[in-house]
Amino acid sequence: MNFLELLVLAVGLSMDAFAVAACAGLTMPRATVKKAAVVGLYFGVFQAVMPLIGFWVATVFADKIIYFDHWIAFGLLCFLGVKMIIGSFRKEKDRCEECSIKPQKMLPLAVATSIDALAVGVSLAFLRANIAQAAITIGIVTFALSVLGVKLGSIFGTRFKSKAELAGGIILILIGCKILIEHLL
């Protein structure tokens, strides 16, 4: 996986976090840079750690599933992509709840938005990708887009959240199809 593909993957993975961060920005009375950075750190750290965990789990079991690993990567990425696309059509009132930057609010959000990164970590193990580079890239991109999401959410409202989640889902499905095609051909 080259760096451009990794960057596209990171953007696709970060769309859930971006959408939730935009919700946070909508509900914060003052979305300061400090608050946006805290939200970005929660999401960025979790998005960076989860692929490491998924990679480790897949590495332990790699010899047992090497003959169909591309199908697993394809299935996981398509499942996550479809989930994001479906989520992009949820009603806005189901999407945003009042958000604070306290750990009891942010930790569940960070875990929920990074579960797909765990599955991607499994896929990256099958692709024998550089997991350190992947985790760092995913974490940095998620941090940056989450900060941007908070600021945009506070400025522009709900207009872009569902579109970002839809784009992220499509990106994950396309990457899954690319992986499958490369391994079958």
Nearest-Å Rg of the Cα atoms of the chain is: 16
164-179 residue pLDDT tens: 667 767 877 887 788 7
88-108 residue pLDDT tens: 787 654 444 445 688 888 888
| Residue ranges of the chain with per-residue pLDDT less than 70 | 27, 29, 62, 65-66, 69, 91-100, 156-162, 164-165, 168
CA pair distance 89, 36, nearest whole angstrom:
25
CA pair distance 123, 116, nearest whole angstrom:
11
pLDDT at 98: 46
CA pair distance 46, 39, nearest whole angstrom:
11
pLDDT at 43: 96
Q: How many domains does the chain have?
A: 1
Alpha helices in the chain (DSSP H): 3-27, 33-65, 69-88, 92-95, 103-126, 131-156, 161-184
CATH number, domain with residue 125: 1.20.1250
pLDDT at 139: 97
Q: Which residues contact 157 (CB under 8 A, 6 or more apart)?
A: 26
Taking the complete model, does pTM exceed 0.75, yes or no? Answer: no
CA pair distance 132, 148, nearest whole angstrom:
24
pLDDT at 47: 96
The single-letter code of the amino acid at 122 is: V
